[in-house]
Chains A and B, each alone.
Chain A
Amino acid sequence: MNIVVCVKQVPAKDAPLAIPEGAAWIRETDIGFELNEPDGYALEEALRLKEKHGGEVVAVSMGPERSKQAIKEALAKGAERGVHISDDKFYELDPLGSARCLAAAIKREKFDLVLTGLQSDDHGFGQTGVLLAELLGLPHATIIMQIDAADGRLKLKRELEAGWFQWVELPLPAVLSIQSGINKPRYATLKGIMAAKKKEIATLTRAELGVTVSPTQRIERIYVPKKTKKTEILTGTAKEAAAKLVEKLKHEARVL
């Protein structure tokens, strides 16, 4: 089974973020970057499927030169090849633009399955995987908790609300968005890291892919949410206060 896994490089979770005056994106100098955590689960799932069914895993990423690191991590963990869509302005793309670029690159591959993480830890649109399936004209399922592949078909466990699950079946090829926590991603071993240096990373540009994008949405502004702290003291006897609290939990907080 040949699997394409989409991996994104995002600012490190604990990186101190600075937003330049009036900018629509964070200041990228002096912060660390890492593999988008949800994509780490997709990568692990891809590696496990490959180990079970054979084939190869190709890691695809888009972004500036530094984003190759996400591909290298995938290669170190066991992916066979990498495809880097080199794009210094990728952060200006909306999810549709991103998906168009990725779809164009993935169409060049012979694959049975495309895996993505559920969403990215930076923009968090959660749409790229779905749009990718549409653009590739393939069936798609989200929030995948378990994948059983047999005879060219997939049996998939999806997570629903309130502890419910759903089993669905899809034919291959397909595109899946993997739920975070589905597995425990492996470490890259030092041997794997050394071996990754010999693996191929193909570089493509938007122009080479023949993709022109006109954003359908753009980020106006980003800002740190203002802290709004409102403390209300409930007065009266304990009984009265408790009654008021229940009322508020029911109708204001709506948690009861």
Chain B
Amino acid sequence: MATTTTTASQSVARGGSFLVESPRPEDVFTPADINDEQKLIAQTTSEFINDEVVPLIDDLEHHKPGVMIGLLKKAGALGILGGAIPEEYGGAGLDKVSSTLLSEQLAAYGGFSVTHGGHSGIGTIPIVYFGTEEQKKKYLPKIASAELISCYCLSEPQAGSDAQALRTRADLSKDGKQWILNGQKMWITNGNYADLFVVFAKVDGDKISCFLVEKGTPGFSVGAEEKKMGIKGSSTTALSFENAPVPKENLLHEIGRGHIVAFNTLNAGRFSLGCYCLGGVKRTIEVSSKYSKERTAFGKQLAEFGLIRQKLAEMAIRAFALESMIYRSAGMMDAFMASAETGTNKTQHMMKALEEYAIESSISKVYGSEALDFAVDEGVQIFGGYGYHEDYPVARAYRDSRINRIFEGTNEINRMLIIQMLMKRAMGGVLPLIPKAMKLMEEILAGPSFEEGSGDAFAEEERMVANAKKVFLLTSGSAVQKLRDKLAEPEHQEVVAALSNIAMDAYAMESSLLRVQKAAARRGAGDVGVMSAAMRAFLFDAADRIEHEARTVLGAVAEGDMLRTQMMALKRFSKREPGNPIALRREVATAVLAGDRYPFEYR
């Protein structure tokens, strides 16, 4: 499915290039570019989740038998489960923007979105990208219709973040016709009612490989339902394999290439996870805003109090920054897909897209899960004592949110990955980080110059974004110089995480600014006032965070004169005009309260 016509003019940006390039506003995809068909997909999903799923939350939270399966079948009939599946295998073959919208809507109930992610995301993608024609034909149409429920089985009791340490083994039977699986899996989403299990196991001791295991396989058993803190509506179980025979043809992809299957799948899963989180933040804004008008204290509505307004505004501001990043990334993936020459295998090309934008996918996961955790925490705070009561939806949202920072690669792992991937791309010459860092050094040594204001309405913001990237080059350059290949070692994780935070905030800042600039060009600057306030408030705080993280990095990796020179440079790049974030947030809060919702939808 093609994206809007505006994509046609968009050049294909390389993954991670946001740190070294400055795209024009018209080059990035923004929610205002979402077309009518994509909106209809969001509408169908929203109607389904609100009319069919939300009324059954109580039953789902208590695992009433058959309820979730019934809903999955309904979702399958509407096409909601086949987003990642090409049309020729019974799916909808959605573009990334459409599947982003779909994921956002599903977030109305965490228990459902996680089930959907386990089935239609990471439970499906391995087969779509790595399955043989026979495997695709056999399983994908049934996954799309929910005739088969699928799940992804990587984690083990002793192997979580260090997935490659998995111990489940697969040995070829004596007659060479079967794989014999032995071992255990842990935290398997959909475990209880799945029919198909995408299982990772080692062959010959160290060759990670992937197998499709069907329910009912002898020696294969599913553990009891885990007692989780949240996402209670979803099923999570352990799995056990005791000499479980799997037909030889159920090997997925190649022996010893299972880690490729696992990582590519997680790239896709991470991106979607950020999209679910974005939808969750928007939902939290809605319920919190409504409640802030219903509840009174000291004779006033909560909504009239500055600190409540500040919370509502901040939720919307973070959602805005997250949304700007996510749709920009989704647009890049779709542009990458559209750039494929005719005759290219679309599925293979999509996998390349996921690999290309793995950095952006990790950012979506980390930023999204932390934005949601912030929002639900403040949501509970706005509801006060009632927020701590299970009868109110924010209590559940609060519990449901917490897992997002843990699964699909913890945020810590993803922070490491972001920098590792950037460095790999820099070393491989894909991203000109090194020449850019050297050029920056020249600029620093040349001393301060009088920068001319362009006179543009967003000149100050453009400068802030440019400086954020310079701070990344300065700090990452300094860190690499000092630590070289030791940067990847566990004892330097704090430095890497700080660099990651700078990179993420730089991406968020730029995506927010470009979106406002694009909207201003389209609608006139007078018409983007509130959006501009949200962007400015975000930039104001992000610049502070970046300066803070940069100090942390420089203090750890530089010393003496070098440290002093770099601190001077940091000071230069952190210079900015005073702002009034309180006033900006009031403006945003007023817009939230006017409609009891996130105010920048489709803008």
Contact = CB atoms under 8 A, between A and B. Distances in A.
A18 B590 CA distance: 13
Given A15-B595, A193-B37, A29 B527 contact: yes
Contacts of A14: 595-597
Interface residues of B, number: 29
Interface stretch (A128-136, A139-147, A184-192, A225-233): A184-192
Given A29-B527, A72-B37, A189 B1 contact: no
B334 to A, nearest CB: 15
Contact of B47 (A30, A187, A196): A187
Contacts of A18: 594
Interface string B343-365: 00000000000000000000000
Interface residues of A, number: 21
B82 A190 contact: yes
Contacts of B79: 189-191
Contacts of B595: 14-16
A29 B595 CA distance: 14
A196 B92 CA distance: 13
B452 interface: no
Nearest to A190: B79
Interface string B76-99: 011110110001000010100000
A196 B37 contact: yes
Nearest to B597: A14
B40 interface: yes
Interface string B514-527: 00000000010001
Contacts of B527: 29
A43 to B, nearest CB: 14
Nearest to B601: A32
Interface string A91-131: 00000000000000000000000000000000000000000
Nearest to B527: A29
Majority DSSP secondary structure for residues of B touching A: helix
B40 to A, nearest CB: 5
B78 A189 contact: yes
A32 B602 contact: yes
B44 A188 contact: yes
Nearest to A73: B40
Contacts of B80: 190
Interface string B205-232: 0000000000000000000000000000
Contact of B43 (A16, A68, A188, A194): A188
B41 A193 contact: yes
B602 A190 contact: no
Contacts of A15: 595
A81 B43 CA distance: 21
B36 interface: yes
Contacts of A68: 36
A232 to B, nearest CB: 23
Given A15-B595, A16-B594, A29-B527, A187 B44 contact: yes
B596 to A, nearest CB: 8
A29 B77 CA distance: 35
Interface of B: 1, 36-37, 39-41, 43-44, 47-48, 77-80, 82-83, 87, 92, 94, 523, 527, 594-597, 599, 601-603
Interface of A: 14-16, 18, 29-30, 32, 68-69, 72-73, 76, 187-191, 193-194, 196-197
Given A15-B595, A18-B594, A69-B36, 9 more contacts: A16-B594, A29-B523, A69-B39, A72-B40, A187-B48, A188-B40, A190-B44, A190-B92, A194-B87
* 5 tightest A-B CB contacts, nearest first: A190-B79, A16-B595, A190-B92, A16-B594, A193-B40
29 contacts: A14-B596, A15-B595, A16-B594, A18-B594, A29-B523, A30-B603, A32-B602, A68-B36, A69-B40, A72-B37, A73-B40, A76-B37, A187-B78, A188-B43, A189-B44, A189-B77, A189-B78, A189-B79, A190-B44, A190-B78, A190-B83, A191-B79, A191-B92, A193-B40, A193-B44, A194-B37, A194-B92, A196-B40, A197-B37
